[in-house]
Amino acid sequence: MTLRPEQIKAREYFLQKGTLLPAAPIRERVGAAFTALETFLDAVTDQEARTRALPGEWTIQEVVDHLIETHRPSLAELRDLLHGRRPTAGPIPASLQSADPMALRFENLVRDLRALHTDVLGVLSAAPDRMTDARAPLVMVINVKEPDGREVPLHWIEELDWKAYAVTAFRLHEVDHLNQAKKTLKAARAAR
């Protein structure tokens, strides 16, 4: 399989910002992403969270629901990796959501996400610097430019060690959805 330049760049990132780093900076970077999202969510009202401000995009509530639904199995997979086991469930779907993302109160979703953040950081706080041979498949989705200038999503499965997995499944995932939520909130507030 021929890799696109974007995939090669992503693999270099996994190596440099994950695999080769000690556990402490990984925990700090994941924690910083969690804090940034939590701080942002503190300023979002229930109405803003439920507003579909951009056609075809998730609401902020749906983003938070998605993070909860993906972080739960990701945390289990991280634990498996730290114990030297390959997770058995297969890669977590890229667009995973609950059956009804809008059913819960926004403040309850934010509370649940904060609790998951605490759990992830607790596991990372106890993580050793040593590596294991275990790898977990992770669905990667990045936007790439086609020769005609169109931007399209590129999907592939990447096999990651626990450090690269933590940086990708938690830090990069949160940062990506924080940026999405900021764009949605800006559009919601502009529409008032």
Predicted confidence pLDDT, tens digits, the chain (192 residues): 789 999 999 999 999 999 999 999 999 999 999 999 999 999 999 999 999 999 999 999 999 999 999 999 999 999 999 999 999 988 999 889 999 999 999 999 999 999 999 999 999 999 998 999 999 999 999 889 898 999 999 999 999 999 999 999 999 999 999 999 999 999 999 987
- Specify whether the CB–CB gap between 23 and 128 falls below 8 A: yes
User: Rounded to whole angstroms, how far apart are CA atoms 189 and 153?
Assistant: 28
Residue 129: CB atoms within 10 A of its CB come to 10
Q: Where are the domains of the chain?
A: 5-190
- Give the pair of three-digit tokens for residue 90: 């297969």
pTM of the model: 0.94
Q: What angle do CA 185, 33, 60 make, to 5 degrees?
A: 25
CATH class in words for 5-190: mainly alpha
3-27 per-residue burial string, b: 16 or more CB within 10 A, e: under 16: eeeebeebbeebeebbbebebeebb
